[in-house]
Structure 1
Amino acid sequence: MDLGRRLKELRGDRSRDKVATAIGISSSALGMYECNKRIPRDDVKRRIADYFGVTIQQLFFED
């Protein structure tokens, strides 16, 4: 599974704005990650993983 699809799945029915604000990024950045147009920096990867309660390994590398 690719990062974008995984992020959309984890976000579920929560708004992009709500999730982005909680993570500390812009909603447009989150949208770019979800569309696989950008890859988050390492510090953002950690914040995303922490927010969703998963490891970076699970988020970025496991199918």
Structure 2
Amino acid sequence: MGTLGQNISALRKKRGLSQAQLAEKLDIGTSTLGMYETNKREPSYETLLNIANFFNTSVDELLGRNTNTKSASTRSDTALTWSDLDMPMPYGGKLPEELKDTYVDLAKSYFKRHPEMLNRDE
């Protein structure tokens, strides 16, 4: 498990792609991808999802996280908490009401694309 940048770089090289080729496929600038790969910049959540989808991997794996830990996939999509996502709690620990549906939709979308992650025995 490496850093996000190391993992993106390794996956890109494994596919035999140049930075320019991958950047074009992801619709981002080559220099932006270079900064991601050198950990000088972090992608937005949307870009991170696009990278994970392109490489047919999970965001956890891209981030170098151990995917064998108990995760949000064992809970219902409406019962997700920040501790399930192992993320710092933004907004002072209270998710603004207008963002709740967005996060639920993201979780549903992820599990629709990765049904193998649902109800895994840990």
TM over 0.5: yes
**Aligned mates of 1:32, 1:61 — CA distance in 2:** 17
Aligned residue for 2:120? none
- Where structure 2 has 5 or more consecutive residues not aligned to the other structure, the ranges are 67-122
Higher relative contact order by CA 8 Å / sep ≥ 6: 1 or 2? 1
Deviation at 1:44, TM superposition (A): 0.3
Aligned residue for 1:33? 36
Q: Which has the higher helix share?
A: 1
TM-score by length of 1: 0.91
Checking the alignment, whether the CA contact within 8 Å between 2:7 and 2:62 is kept in structure 1 is: yes
Aligned length: 63
| Bigger Cα Rg | 2
Superposition CA RMSD, Å: 1.2
Where in structure 1 do 4 or more consecutive aligned residues deviate above 6 Å?
Answer: none
- How many percent of aligned residue pairs carry the same amino acid? 33
Deviations 1:4-63 (A, max 9, x none): 111110001311011011011111100000000000001100101011110111111426
